Amino acid sequence: MAEKTRVGVLISGRGSNLKALIDAQRDDCPYAIALVASNVEDAPGLDFARAAGIATFAKSHKGMKREEFDAIIDTELRAHSVEAVALAGYMRLLSPGFVEGWAGRMINIHPSLLPLYKGLDTHERAIEARDSKHGCSVHLVTAELDDGPILAQAEVPILPGDTPDTLAARVLVEEHRLYPLALAELVRTL
Ligand code: GRF
């Protein structure tokens, strides 16, 4: 078995996608999560990392310049010999220098069928637009928010009576299935 690619995961919140990435780490999984870092000191998702014995780093970005904070995260990732980065509900815009440093090696999961609905409130916007389908996308991270080449997508139907919450729950099931597959696929190409 080839050595596993060391991955860093960045989170800001509940971390359900992080949990899916952790749960997928079996013998045949080509990645190993080496560090989970957060810009929110008490992000609930950090507990999933701790329970799995994965190193964590948490520091608030408040009062710091974007570049300054990103440099700290970058130093932590490199100190843990991270080779690829997965954003999993990381609610911070990244500085161009950080993005450049991880070009082709950093992915994000976004709850829409990109290029539709970049940014926030995607479920609400898809319902308001009377779309018949919605879903999630995994893409390489570039300097533009929720832009960058799309690596994988999964669709769900929008059903009569859906609220943003019921639709989000349906999409989340697909996120948890898709993200580990897309991350494994990415690291196989590195
Ligand atoms: C997910 O919907 C993800 O697509 C978006 O932020 C949310 C994070 O949820 N980028 P979680 O923290 O992984 O539970």
14 lines ligand 1 (CB under 6 A): yes
118 lines ligand 1 (CB under 6 A): no
Instruction: Specify the pLDDT at position 27.
Output: 81
Residues of the chain with pLDDT under 50: none
Question: Which amino acids are annotated catalytic?
Answer: 110
Instruction: Specify the pLDDT at position 133.
Output: 98
Instruction: Specify the pLDDT at position 1.
Output: 53
Tell me the C-alpha distance between 175 and 171, whole Å: 6
Residue 104's CB: how many other CB atoms inside 10 A? Answer: 14
DSSP letters, 105-140, are SEEEEESSSTTS--SS-HHHHHHHTT-SEEEEEEEE
Nearest atom within ligand 1 for CA of residue 20: 13
Instruction: Specify the pLDDT at position 37.
Output: 98
pTM above the 0.95 mark? yes
Tell me the C-alpha distance between 133 and 92, whole Å: 27
Pair 117, 137: CB distance under 8 Å:
no
Ligand 1 pocket mutation, candidates 109, 124, 176, 179, criterion most atoms within 8 A of CB: 109
Selection from 137, 55, 141 nearest residue 106 by Cα: 141
164 lines ligand 1 (CB under 6 A): no
